[in-house]
Amino acid sequence: MLATSSIPGPWADVDVEAYNSLKHNYICQLHKVYGDIVAVSANSASHIDVDATDSEKLILFVRDPKAVHEVLHNDDNFAKTWDAADSSSKKGDYVMNLVQPLLSNTVFNNVADRGKPGVHKGRTLMKATFGASEHFLASMEACVERLLKRKAASWCGEAVDVQTMAHDVIRRALLVAVVGDTIADEAADMIEQQFHEVMQYFVRKYADSHHKAAVTKQDSENLSHLEVAMLSVVRRWYDIDGPSLSSDADHCSLLRVMHKAEFDEMHCARMLVNTIIAGGEAPAIALAATIEELARTPPVQDGVIREVAKPAGLQGSIAEHVESFQKVDDTVLEGLRLFSPATLIMRVAVKDSELCGYVVPAGTVIGVCVTAVHQCPHIFENSMSFEPEKRSGLNYVLLSRTQPFVPFSAGPRGCPGKHIGTALLRICLAKLLQHFHFKPPSQGASSDAISVKFTGWKVNGIHLRVGLRELPMGISARAIGINEPPVECPMHRSAL
C-alpha cells in the first residue's frame, strides 16, 4: 500500500473561499483535478474556518466505486460521524446536508453512538415506520389530493415557486407516516407557519458563504419554536386517543411506535421535528429540481403525464398503480441521481484501513460527495444530462460495486427512510402531474444561488409557469378526484 502522504490533493492549500461558497461543487472540481481519492487538510469538513487556529485534520474524499462500497458497507472499519460536534449545541445539531439543524439528543441522532461501530437502536424503532411505506401510500395520496384542491388557484401563475410547493406537498404527505392519517391534515395546519418561518430564517443565514458553522442562541430559539409546535400536535394526538386509532397508517405511524416504546411527550415531539426536517426537506429539494427539469424537457413531462392519467390507471387511485408506473419511477430516480438529498456522507476510520491502494490511518475522516459520484462521467454516461429513460432501473436499495447510486447513502448506517422517501416522491410527483403542467419562466431562468451548506436548496426558490392541466378527452375531473370547477389561470389560454 502507498503511504498516506502520497494521496493526491490540495492538502493545506485548499481554496477556502471556494470550499465555503461552492461546497459539493468544489469537491466535484477537486475530483476532476486529482482523481477518485482526494486529500484535504483542514479544520473541519463541516466548515473550513479561515480564522481557526486548532490543529488540522486529514479528510479524504472518495468517489471510486469500490472505495465507496467499502466505506459505506464495512461498519467494522468505518463508523458514522457528522464531523460537526464542535458546531452543535445542547439544543441543536449542525447537519451538513440540511438547511435546518436537528434537535439534539433524540434516538434519531443520539450523540452517544457517534463514531462507534454498529447500528443505533433508534433505527430499529424507526424501521417499523420507514420500512412500511405500503401502509401509507393511499392515505398519503388522499392527503396530497386535499391539499392540491385547496391550493390549485394559488399555485397557478407565471412565476410560482415550485420549491415551496414541493416542500408543502412532501411535508403534508410525510405527516401521514409521522402522526397517522387521522390527524395528518390538522397537524400540518398546526405546524405549517412555524416550519415556513424557521426554514426561511436558516435559508437567509446560510446564504452567506462566510457564515460560522455553529448553532447559535438564535438558532436554538428557532428550533424551540418547532419543538413547541410539534408538542401541541403530540398532545392533540393523545386528546383524540391516538394510541387506539386502528387504520394502517395510524397503526404504523412513528408517533404510535414512539408511544409503544414509552418515550415521553417531549422526546416524541423532538423526534417528530427531526423526522419532518430530514424527511421533508431533502426529498423536497429533489422533487422541485426534478420538476424544473421536466419543465425544460416537455417530451419527458408529457410521457409521465400520459402514464399517470391513462384510463387504466384511473380505474383506481395512484397509490394502487404507482409501483407499476415505470416513467414515474425512472423520473424520480434520475432526479435523485442529479439532485441527491444527501450531498455529503461522512464516515471516520475506526482502525487503520486501506482505500484505493493507500493507507488510511485510524481517525481519518472520509467524505463521499454524492454529487461527485453521481456526476462522474466514468460512472454514469452523459452524467450531467437529465435522461430518465436511458437510466431506467437505478437501484437505490442495493449498492453496486461498479456504478454506485447512493441518494440515501447505503449500508447499515444508510438512511432508514429511503423506502418511504422514494414512495413520497413517486406519489407527490404523480399527483402534481395529474393536476398541473410546468413550463420554464417567461422572464428567464431561476437564480442558481444555493444554500452554502452541503445541500441543493435554492436560496431564491425555483420559479416556473404553472397551469392546471387539460384532461384527456373522455376523462372526467371526477374520475381523478377533482370535484370543483376548473380554476382559470393564464396557462389555459390557447396562446400558451
pLDDT of res. 44: 53
The residue-averaged pLDDT of 121-148 equals 86
Fold entry, domain 4-492: Cytochrome p450 (1.10.630)
Would you say the C-alpha torsion 293, 299, 303, 306 has a positive or negative sign? Answer: positive
d(CA 80, CA 71): 10
pLDDT of res. 86: 58
pTM to 2 decimals?
0.89
d(CA 271, CA 393): 33
Read off the C-alpha cell for 161: 415557486
Task: Tell me the β-bridge partners of 358.
Answer: 2, 355
Go through the chain and tell me how many residues it has.
496
Decide: 442 and 493 in contact? Cβ < 8 Å: no
Is residue 473's pLDDT more than 80?
no
Instruction: Write out pLDDT tens, residues 259-268.
Output: 999 999 999 9
Instruction: Write out pLDDT tens, residues 283-298.
Output: 999 999 999 999 999 9
CB proximity list for 189: less than 8 A, separation 6 or greater: none
Helix 162-179 to helix 184-206 angle, to the nearest 10 degrees? 130
Decide: 137 and 419 in contact? Cβ < 8 Å: no
Residues 325-349 as b or e (16 or more Cβ within 10 Å = b): bebbbbbbbbbbbbbbbbbbbbbbb
Q: Position of cell 435559508?
A: 203
Instruction: Write out pLDDT tens, residues 215-261.
Output: 999 999 999 999 999 999 999 999 999 999 999 999 999 999 999 99
The residue-averaged pLDDT of 195-202 equals 96
Would you say the C-alpha torsion 458, 459, 463, 469 has a positive or negative sign? Answer: positive
Backbone angles phi, psi at 2, to 5 degrees: -80, 150
pLDDT of res. 82: 64
d(CA 240, CA 475): 39
Q: SS3 for 152?
A: coil
pLDDT of res. 474: 39
